[in-house]
């Protein structure tokens, strides 16, 4: 059982996490949800299309202009409070690596801290423990926030992913984060080249076998673009194919831009796997 905020999710229940970027320079939408009203409309649409979680981020993952902790908090804290007011049942996640931002958004009503940079600030897990919120434990290959990988190597990329993510998860629980609210994430593209991310996908069942719920953040990423030689706006099909493989291998939470399309993929895979009955089953019965 995965428990986040007011929500509980069964082991085989796929969960969609919709991306809401509060940045003027996001790689995918170039700041479309930087202002409050478009961002709130995005949340409303995502929830209507089937997202159980919204992931709010105040800093672009890639290199760019410096964003201080104060500016990151300005972009996220008030917005978290407003989403909490308007959508009391949605799970609110905040994508941050900074403990001080984590503290502020938890005060505002966040349910989950998405630590995409792999524990670079160990105090963030302490914040999650203090507020009894969830935590995403990610493998970033030791990379500094907002840097791109350069000639990174691993003897065995999945072995490294398992060591880091399980270690972070166990530390979080030891600190007091509720065990049922901790997830692990292989960190596609973070501290990895394209071949590493493909191998991490291919061996995702090894993460699932640890017993920790697995979150994947695949949406329109560079490893999809390089694999298919497609620019950012032409990566949806590759993303959905990777989503289907990840679902078959047992991942549970999917951080995405395209909510409706992802939901169809996840429902189809769940039905093939026998975890979901078809919405309609008339064929051959008339």
Q: Are 26 and 40 in contact (CB under 8 A)?
A: no
Cα torsion 177, 178, 184, 190 to 10°: value is -30
For every one of its 286 residues, what pLDDT tens digit does the chain have, with 9 covering 90 and above?
999 999 999 999 999 999 999 998 887 776 788 889 999 999 999 999 999 999 999 999 999 989 999 999 999 999 999 999 999 999 999 999 999 999 999 999 999 999 999 999 999 999 999 999 999 999 999 999 999 999 999 999 999 999 999 999 999 999 999 999 999 999 999 999 999 999 999 999 999 999 999 999 999 999 999 999 999 999 999 999 999 999 999 999 999 999 999 999 999 999 999 999 999 999 999 7
Element (H, E) at 115: strand 112-115
How far is Cα 116 from Cα 102, in angstroms, rounded to an integer? 13
- Residues contacting residue 67 through CB under 8 Å, at least 6 positions apart: 23, 58, 59, 60
Active-site residue numbers?
Answer: 221, 255
Place of tokens 């760019």: 64
195: which 2 tokens? 């071949």
Element (H, E) at 126: helix 123-131
**pTM for the full model?**
0.96
């Amino acid at each position: 059982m995965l428990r986040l905020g007011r929500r509980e999710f069964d082991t085989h229940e796929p969960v969609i996490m919709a991306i809401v970027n509060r940045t003027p320079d996001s790689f995918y939408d170039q700041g479309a949800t930087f202002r409050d009203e478009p961002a709130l409309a995005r949340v409303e649409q995502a929830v209507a299309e089937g997202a159980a979680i919204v992931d709010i981020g105040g800093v672009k993952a890639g290199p760019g202009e410096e964003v201080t902790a104060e500016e990151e908090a300005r972009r996220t804290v008030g917005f978290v409070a407003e989403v909490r007011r308007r959508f009391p049942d949605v799970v609110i996640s905040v994508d941050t690596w900074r403990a001080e931002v984590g503290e502020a958004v938890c005060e505002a009503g966040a349910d989950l801290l998405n630590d995409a940079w792999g524990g670079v600030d160990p105090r963030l897990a302490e914040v999650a423990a203090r507020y009894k919120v969830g935590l995403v434990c990610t493998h970033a290959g030791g990379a500094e926030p907002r840097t791109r990988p350069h000639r990174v190597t691993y003897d065995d990329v999945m072995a490294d992913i398992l060591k880091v993510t399980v270690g972070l998860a166990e530390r979080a629980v030891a600190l007091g984060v509720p065990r049922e609210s901790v997830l692990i994430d292989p960190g596609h593209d973070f501290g990895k080249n394209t071949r590493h991310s493909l191998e991490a996908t291919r061996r995702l069942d090894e993460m699932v076998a640890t017993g920790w719920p697995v979150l994947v953040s695949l949406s329109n990423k560079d490893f999809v673009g390089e694999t298919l030689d497609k620019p950012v706006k032409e990566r949806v099909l590759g993303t959905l194919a990777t989503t289907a493989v990840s679902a078959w291998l047992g991942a549970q939470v999917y951080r995405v831009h395209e909510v409706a399309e992802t939901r169809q993929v996840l429902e189809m895979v769940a039905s093939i796997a026998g975890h979901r009955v078809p919405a309609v089953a008339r064929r051959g019965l008339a």
